[in-house]
Chain A
Amino acid sequence: MSSKIKPLKYHEKLNFSPSLENTNSLSLKKEYQLFINGRFQKPLSNKYFASINPANENKIAMVAQANEKDVDLAVNAARNSYESHWSKIPPKERAKYIYRIARIIQEKAKELAILETLDGGKPIRESRDIDIPLAAAHFFYYAGWADKLDYAFPNRNPKPLGVVGQIIPWNFPLMMAAWKIAPALATGNTVVLKPAESTSLTALKLAEIVQEAGLPDGVVNIITGPGSTGEMIVNHLDIDKIAFTGSTEVGKTIMRSISTTSKKSTMELGGKAANIIFEDAPLDQAVEGVINGIYFNQGHVCCAGSRLFVQESVYELILRKLKDRMQSLVVGDPLDKNTDIGAVNSKQQLSTINNYIDIGKKEGADIFQLSCDLPAKGYWCPPTLFTNVSQSHRIAKEEIFGPVLAVQTFRTTEEVITKANNTPFGLSAGVWTDKGSKVFNLTSKLRAGVIWANTYNKFDPTSPFGGYKESGHGREGGLHGLSPYLNIE
């Protein structure tokens, strides 16, 4: 490319007028209670905390904070319903309830999508087209397995574990609840679930759906609160298994806490995925994959493709294409149908991201950010990329969990495999090449639980998801997602 040629411009013609999602279908309470034993109950703690809309810092509702006694009530309810009912009914009865939940999620999809966007800051396009449909799909999928466990594990007499404690993150609130609850119920367990403090509302809507679906009391209990409430679930003596999705740091703490118990565990933790572009790749689609890989959900994705490796021969070309593509990203009101990048989930997360951006600058990497107007209130970070990055830079080593991409180059296949695996994480990776043999070579050598070839961030309930190394253990989704909830001979 000649240096005289002017970069293309994207902002002068045909700009979008506001196109806000209509929020009439949303009904909200002022105060949300704990969902224990099939009923909404005031917390024994008598404490509530505010749920904030990160796009404008307004309070959406007050949410109950569970203390030790509340956790005890929830676990007891789950234990009673497990012993007296849920473990005894025919598996196809369990399936019937799970199917009902799936169908009601579909019926209320619009309301759930709006609430997810209000509470978490993610673009309505994503909550409408990805989060909510995938949550429903997960329930549909696992409902189908409920009466087929003997076929999934022939001659191995699969039995439920009992009461499972599930702690989920704030990046995909309802979808993560579905990933946890659906397989647990299908395999005959009862559940105590705690959503993240900043995004409790769709989980509480799910509690209403559980009620509407007529699930027996106590099969699903949803309690809310900060990290300390989660700790109480982890340490409760009558819990048989902990399923956790969140940071590696908290995951390690949980593993230490349960190491002297017989509790089983599934951990889905952090990541620092390598997204690898070879010179023979379909380059324009690779660029699109990079955009989806890192800027999806403001980069709050454990499997985000946050490390980009580009073969040196196409480095300039990819960078030009990437910067051009970034020009069309719309940052702003998450309820606007054209928004690509919504609000960062919380003030705390924004300061973490900004801290890493400062570190990147101080370490001497070159920053490129989309220049765009950001709303005055709320928490915002424009799509960002760093070039002149090496493996030793902290922005290439540590999980940022924001829309920040670290771009590196490589020369040979061996080199990129070494670099891609040179991380304590191992959740996901992406490979872009037109050559099938290269895909198979890399997928067998990359130490990552999920590897996408010529695409990125594709999810399906039939496909197992989970990590190697410090990205966790156990799998969610697919046939593999059943066994962590079963005792198998």
Chain B
Amino acid sequence: MQFTINNKVDKVGIEDRIVRITKRSLKSESKLAGLKMVLGMIDLTTLEGMDTVKKVQQLCYKATHIHNELPNLPNVAAVCVYPTMVKTASNALKDFDVKVASVATAFPSGSSSLKIKIQETKEAIFNGADEVDMVISRGKFHSGEYNYVFDEIATIKETCGSDVRLKVILETGELGDYDHIRFASEIAINAGADFIKTSTGKIKPTATLPITLVMLEAIKDHYYNTGKMIGMKPAGGISNSKLALQYLLLVKETLGDLWLDNHWFRFGASSLANDVLMQILKLKKGYYQSNNYFSKD
């Protein structure tokens, strides 16, 4: 199969659409419902060279005890770590409905051989990863080797099997135009991605609303062509509730009700959860609390 760029994206039009979304206003009950939804969609993430077993354990505790005072809050969707930390996370989360996601395939650059990428993926799964977040080979994409990019994703999906969900990180900050982002989304979806994801968080710009819209439209067209749903995960730079709610509205107005669910939509974020909690408490109590009341793990 030979890939060609077919679906065009107009920059001005995409950005105009986002302006409409950012003018939406979520108040009172709908805001509370949205905030809870956001909380349950978070992939609580730590991806640092300085990560330690203790740090990951602390994060996992946070993931499962999001706030002690507030009843009926959902847990976050997953904890996202490096492969070496999967075992730690898996042990910490074994009694909870919080998934373990592991980045793999020479994250974040993806610059390694396929053999090593397969091996890394296997290890992550063996150690207990429920989900794998891989990166695509951006260099190959830019040099027009689309089949290489496709095959690599397909191979990693094969390694994952049907039980482990594969999120494919496009690293949109390195792809350039929206046309490229749309095209890379199509390659990933057709190669077997369960989720498409914007960014590693290591390259700026990270996730943006317009980039997410381009990817959601690719998911939508795929749904209408095949009936198959693909998940979406914007990651990086989403650190406050207002922005997170705008992402939800974008999903609401593009893909609709089915995707407003943490099985199909996630946020890759490290500091978003506390801001969401602060906003939920503000809605309940009528005033803001100091951020010292929210645990920083």
Task: Contact check, B17 vs A18: say whether CB atoms are below 8 A apart.
Answer: no
**Docked CA distance A45–B16 (Å):** 48
Task: Contact check, B220 vs A337: say whether CB atoms are below 8 A apart.
Answer: no
Instruction: Determine if A368 is an interface residue (Cβ-Cβ < 8 Å).
Output: no
Q: Name B224's closest neighbour in chain A (CB-CB).
A: A1
Task: Contact check, A8 vs B34: say whether CB atoms are below 8 A apart.
Answer: no
**Docked CA distance A337–B26 (Å):** 9
Nearest chain A CB to B260 CB, angstrom units:
4
Instruction: Determine if A289 is an interface residue (Cβ-Cβ < 8 Å).
Output: yes
Partner of A129, one of B23, B227, B256: B23
Task: Contact check, B23 vs A17: say whether CB atoms are below 8 A apart.
Answer: no
**Docked CA distance A289–B17 (Å):** 9
A10-B256, A327-B256 given; A17·B13 CB < 8 A: no
**Docked CA distance A4–B256 (Å):** 18
Instruction: Determine if A212 is an interface residue (Cβ-Cβ < 8 Å).
Output: no
Residues of chain A within 8 A (CB-CB) of B257 are 8-13
What does the 1/0 interface line of B221-254 toward A look like (CB < 8 Å)?
0011111000000000000000000001100110
Partner of B224, one of A5, A15, A292: A5
Task: Contact check, A10 vs B223: say whether CB atoms are below 8 A apart.
Answer: no
Interface hits, A260-283 → B, CB 8 Å: 280-283
Instruction: Determine if B68 is an interface residue (Cβ-Cβ < 8 Å).
Output: no
Instruction: Determine if A328 is an interface residue (Cβ-Cβ < 8 Å).
Output: yes
A2-B227, A8-B256, A327-B256 given; A14·B27 CB < 8 A: no
Task: Contact check, B26 vs A17: say whether CB atoms are below 8 A apart.
Answer: yes
Nearest 8 pairs of A and B residues by beta carbon: A285-B13, A282-B10, A19-B25, A328-B253, A8-B256, A285-B10, A337-B25, A282-B8
A2-B227, A5-B224 given; A13·B260 CB < 8 A: yes
Partner of B29, one of A4, A17, A284: A17
Residues of chain B within 8 A (CB-CB) of A19 are 25-27
Residues of chain B within 8 A (CB-CB) of A280 are 8
Residues of chain A within 8 A (CB-CB) of B7 are 282-283
Residues of chain B within 8 A (CB-CB) of A15 are 30
Q: Name B255's closest neighbour in chain A (CB-CB).
A: A8
Interface hits, B1-33 → A, CB 8 Å: 7-10, 12-14, 16-17, 23-31, 33
Interface hits, B196-225 → A, CB 8 Å: 217, 220, 223-225
Contacts beyond the supplied A14-B34, A320-B224: 13 A-B pairs with Cβ under 8 Å: A5-B226, A5-B227, A8-B257, A9-B257, A12-B257, A14-B30, A14-B33, A17-B26, A18-B27, A19-B26, A19-B27, A285-B14, A288-B13
Nearest chain B CB to A155 CB, angstrom units:
39
Residues of chain A within 8 A (CB-CB) of B31 are 17
**Docked CA distance A2–B224 (Å):** 7
Q: Name B31's closest neighbour in chain A (CB-CB).
A: A17
Instruction: Determine if A79 is an interface residue (Cβ-Cβ < 8 Å).
Output: no
Instruction: Determine if A125 is an interface residue (Cβ-Cβ < 8 Å).
Output: yes
The interface of chain A, by Cβ under 8 A from chain B, is: 1-2, 4-5, 8-19, 125, 129, 280-286, 288-289, 292, 320, 324, 327-328, 337-338, 434, 454-455
**Docked CA distance A456–B14 (Å):** 13
**Docked CA distance A153–B255 (Å):** 54
Q: Name B28's closest neighbour in chain A (CB-CB).
A: A17
Partner of A282, one of B9, B24, B37, B258: B9
Partner of B37, one of A10, A14, A18: A14
**Docked CA distance A281–B34 (Å):** 34
**Docked CA distance A280–B8 (Å):** 8
Nearest chain B CB to A335 CB, angstrom units:
12
Residues of chain B within 8 A (CB-CB) of A327 are 256
A14-B252, A289-B13 given; A338·B25 CB < 8 A: yes
Residues of chain A within 8 A (CB-CB) of B30 are 14-17
Task: Contact check, A14 vs B217: say whether CB atoms are below 8 A apart.
Answer: no
Task: Contact check, A288 vs B17: say whether CB atoms are below 8 A apart.
Answer: yes
**Docked CA distance A434–B248 (Å):** 30
Residues of chain A within 8 A (CB-CB) of B16 are 285, 288, 292, 455
Residues of chain A within 8 A (CB-CB) of B24 are 16, 337-338
Residues of chain A within 8 A (CB-CB) of B29 are 17
**Docked CA distance A10–B225 (Å):** 19
Residues of chain A within 8 A (CB-CB) of B226 are 2, 5
A5-B227, A17-B30 given; A454·B10 CB < 8 A: yes
**Docked CA distance A64–B223 (Å):** 58
Residues of chain B within 8 A (CB-CB) of A13 are 252, 257, 260
Q: Name B7's closest neighbour in chain A (CB-CB).
A: A283
Nearest chain A CB to B247 CB, angstrom units:
12
Residues of chain A within 8 A (CB-CB) of B17 are 285, 288
Nearest chain A CB to B219 CB, angstrom units:
11
Q: Name A435's closest neighbour in chain B (CB-CB).
A: B8
Task: Contact check, B256 vs A9: say whether CB atoms are below 8 A apart.
Answer: yes
Nearest chain B CB to A122 CB, angstrom units:
15
Residues of chain B within 8 A (CB-CB) of A324 are 220, 256
Task: Contact check, A8 vs B220: say whether CB atoms are below 8 A apart.
Answer: yes
Nearest chain A CB to B232 CB, angstrom units:
14
**Docked CA distance A281–B25 (Å):** 31
Residues of chain B within 8 A (CB-CB) of A285 are 9-10, 12-14, 16-17
**Docked CA distance A17–B31 (Å):** 8
**Docked CA distance A144–B104 (Å):** 60
Task: Contact check, A10 vs B252: say whether CB atoms are below 8 A apart.
Answer: yes
Nearest chain B CB to A291 CB, angstrom units:
9
Residues of chain B within 8 A (CB-CB) of A4 are 227
**Docked CA distance A8–B216 (Å):** 13
Q: Name A454's closest neighbour in chain B (CB-CB).
A: B10
Nearest chain B CB to A6 CB, angstrom units:
8
7 contacts between A and B (CB under 8 A): A2-B227, A5-B227, A125-B23, A285-B9, A285-B13, A455-B13, A455-B16
Q: Name B13's closest neighbour in chain A (CB-CB).
A: A285
Residues of chain B within 8 A (CB-CB) of A11 are 257
Q: Name A289's closest neighbour in chain B (CB-CB).
A: B13
Nearest chain A CB to B64 CB, angstrom units:
25
Task: Contact check, A434 vs B8: say whether CB atoms are below 8 A apart.
Answer: yes
**Docked CA distance A286–B31 (Å):** 31
Residues of chain A within 8 A (CB-CB) of B10 are 282, 285, 434, 454
**Docked CA distance A231–B275 (Å):** 61
**Docked CA distance A11–B26 (Å):** 15
Residues of chain B within 8 A (CB-CB) of A17 are 26-31
Q: Name B218's closest neighbour in chain A (CB-CB).
A: A284
**Docked CA distance A381–B227 (Å):** 33
Residues of chain A within 8 A (CB-CB) of B253 are 10, 328
Residues of chain A within 8 A (CB-CB) of B260 are 13-14
Residues of chain A within 8 A (CB-CB) of B12 are 285, 454-455
Q: Name B249's closest neighbour in chain A (CB-CB).
A: A14
Residues of chain A within 8 A (CB-CB) of B249 are 14
Residues of chain B within 8 A (CB-CB) of A12 are 257
Q: Name A281's closest neighbour in chain B (CB-CB).
A: B8
Task: Contact check, A328 vs B13: say whether CB atoms are below 8 A apart.
Answer: no
Q: Name A16's closest neighbour in chain B (CB-CB).
A: B30
